[in-house]
Amino acid sequence: MRIVIAGAHGKVARRLGRLLSRRGDSVAGLVRNPDHRADLESDGVEPVVLDLEHASVAEVSAVLAGADGVVFAAGGGPNSGIARKDTVDRAAAVLLADAAEAAGVRPYLMVSSMGVDTVAGGATPEGVDEVFVAYLRAKLAAEQNVLPRPGLDTTVVRPGRLTDDPGTGRVRLDRHVERGDVPRDDVAAVLAALLDDPKSGAVIELVSGDTPIAEAVAAVV
């Protein structure tokens, strides 16, 4: 398969890129910073320098042409302010979806976040700082824009709190799960499994659990 990953230098995205490359897939990684090219090349990923905050649909769709799947794993980052939560976590996800439709690439896998339901309907959860609220709102808006789309087979994955612990290969996947942690290794492995077995229209929450990843993905409706 040929897979394009947006936000390819992120911690989950690099793990995914390495997984896919090692199993023989062709992987292109979209990055904003040209200094990240060498890291992607060392992962076996073809770097494509393209800023999704400023690129056009035509520019992105040209990169996606011929791909078998697209993954949105970009984010404004922990040190970005409210404005970039919107321009990256929402607008860039929508741009990538628009470009995938234009390029005729149906499988679209979006990494979102647990907790987005807490801001549904304009709600403001108590005890949450305004930047994180903006992040959750941006992720929810992105989900609502890309689901459903007749030209895409979209799967949304909402991981719990991400850790750098070694992956266990066992998770819990469901429409709603209790909040918990999940290693980035296991998130990447779940994303790879979903590229093999897309779940069009599904919104899946993901935390560590007891079920082997392949079995957990197969059970998702």
Q: What is the dihedral of CA 76, 77, 82, 84, to 10 degrees?
A: -20
pLDDT range class, residue 7, cuts 50, 70, 90: very high
**Contact at 8 Å (CB) between 140 and 156?**
no
pLDDT range class, residue 5, cuts 50, 70, 90: very high
Please write the tens of the pLDDT for every residue from 54-92: 999 999 999 999 999 999 999 877 777 889 999 999 999
Instruction: Taking residues 143-154, report their average pLDDT.
Output: 93
Instruction: State the pLDDT at residue 50.
Output: 97
* Tokens of residue 141, six digits: 């808006």
Instruction: Taking residues 191-207, report their average pLDDT.
Output: 96
Taken in order of first residue, the domains within the chain and their CATH numbers are 2-219 (3.40.50.720)
Q: Is 135 a catalytic residue?
A: yes
Instruction: Say which of 69, 135, 141, 194 is annotated catalytic.
Output: 135
Instruction: State the pLDDT at residue 88.
Output: 94
Q: Are strands 2-6 and 153-159 parallel, antiparallel or unpaired?
A: unpaired
**Contact at 8 Å (CB) between 81 and 132?**
no
Best CA proximity match to 158, nearest among 136, 132, 133: 136
**Contact at 8 Å (CB) between 142 and 98?**
no
Distance between CA 18 and CA 44 in Å, rounded? 7
Token pair 């970009």 is found at 74
pTM for the predicted model, two decimal places: 0.95
Tell me, what amino acid is at 124? T
- Is the predicted pLDDT of residue 156 greater than 80, yes or no? yes
Helix (H, G, I), strand (E, B) or coil at 112: coil
Burial grade of 194 (CB within 10 A; 0-12, 13-18, 19 or more): buried
First to last CA, the chain: 23
- Is the predicted pLDDT of residue 33 greater than 90, yes or no? yes
Distance between CA 100 and CA 154 in Å, rounded? 11
